[in-house]
């Protein structure tokens, strides 16, 4: 398999934020359409995990000491 390409913290943050939003919108739509009574717990947990990744990357990007230690 081909190795993953290079990314940036900003791109990783945006991808995690987009995925958290996608999960939330999809679950809300299923609830509103009556397909499910409440959001699925595993999907809520995934959404929370992606939101946590966003917060972690925000903390990393706010700390110049950590940024200096990261490989370029």
Range of the domain at 16: 9-69
d(CA 64, CA 62): 6
Question: 3-class DSSP state for residue 35?
Answer: coil
**1, part of any domain:** no
Answer whether residue 25 shows pLDDT above 80: yes
First and final C-alpha spacing in the chain: 24
**2, part of any domain:** no
Q: Which residues contact 19 (CB under 8 A, 6 or more apart)?
A: 50
Mean of the per-residue pLDDT values for the chain?
A: 95
Tell me how many domains the chain contains. 1
**31, part of any domain:** yes
Q: What is the pTM of this model?
A: 0.87
| pLDDT for position 58 | 97
Question: 3-class DSSP state for residue 2?
Answer: coil
* Of residues 50, 58, 52, the one with CA closest to residue 19: 50
| pLDDT for position 5 | 84
**44, part of any domain:** yes
Q: Tell me if 23 sits within 8 A of 47, measured CB to CB.
A: yes
**54, part of any domain:** yes
Q: How confident is residue 71, by pLDDT bands cut at 50, 70 and 90?
A: confident
């Amino acid at each position: 398999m081909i190795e993953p390409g290079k990314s940036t913290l900003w791109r990783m943050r945006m991808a995690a934020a987009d995925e958290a939003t996608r999960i939330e919108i999809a679950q809300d739509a299923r609830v509103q359409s009556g397909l499910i009574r409440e959001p699925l717990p595993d999907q809520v947990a995934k959404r929370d995990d992606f939101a946590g990744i966003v917060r972690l990357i925000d903390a990393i990007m706010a700390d110049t000491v950590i940024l200096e230690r990261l490989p370029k």
